[in-house]
Structure 1
């Protein structure tokens, strides 16, 4: 039995975009930095940021990747309210395979961020134990209100077939 059905294969190339409902504010930057335990003055002190080559405070790099601020969707049963392809494959376990981020320019107060996700590939593989798995690859681009690239994100989700009891 193949995990890669025609219905799932047809998802490759699908694209979705989420645009923040408002500009990023200084308070959100400050609160996010505090929440992740990062006390870098680049995020709170304009003079310090200017001395280090910026026009003023910038956001911690990973703030832009928290797409739940852009996706106007209700939380799922696990409480997650960010981007998800909503691929359900019975008889599998969903595993995060990882993310690779490339930061192109800092996010600043006043930026309106758009996250555009594209499902780039779905491939069948086997685990070292011989179980079938599906590897789902997607990519996101985060841009500001002028269309300038802020961040790219490559993400891998893996669906591993559950071992049959026998």
Structure 2
């Protein structure tokens, strides 16, 4: 994204992985870079200018032939192949903002997703507060700030928290 303000900023890249409930990747969807005109790219916030410049995303957006509408159609086609309407949550780190951008710029994709969100950042924050020793051992992020890389890191991070924090209880003991 060119920033975090859904009213003034734009989507630069979209990607998707489908996982099962155990976080095994079942399918990799499209990883699409969206063409944005110079007047949009030239108005990115400072963080985006620096990081998207370093990653090559800004230049890739300038060269891309993929429109926002083409990206939405492609992503929607992939999602519909694997997920019935209303059955899949969006998941990842700080995905509430991503959801807002989908609502504004990719309403077909947004309307196909379940209304719930699985936010790995929330799990991470709870771990930091409740169990700092486990938090300190979490996998370190590479921070490439590219869509598919971020998704993969989020899955790996959630796998870690699942194994370290969400321990299966002894059901008999709980009764």
TM-score, length basis structure 2: 0.25
- Structure (1 or 2) with the greater helix fraction: 2
Give the structure-1-normalised TM-score.
Answer: 0.26
The structure whose RCO (Cα within 8 Å, separation 6+) is larger is 1
By percentage of residues, which structure has more strand? Answer: 1
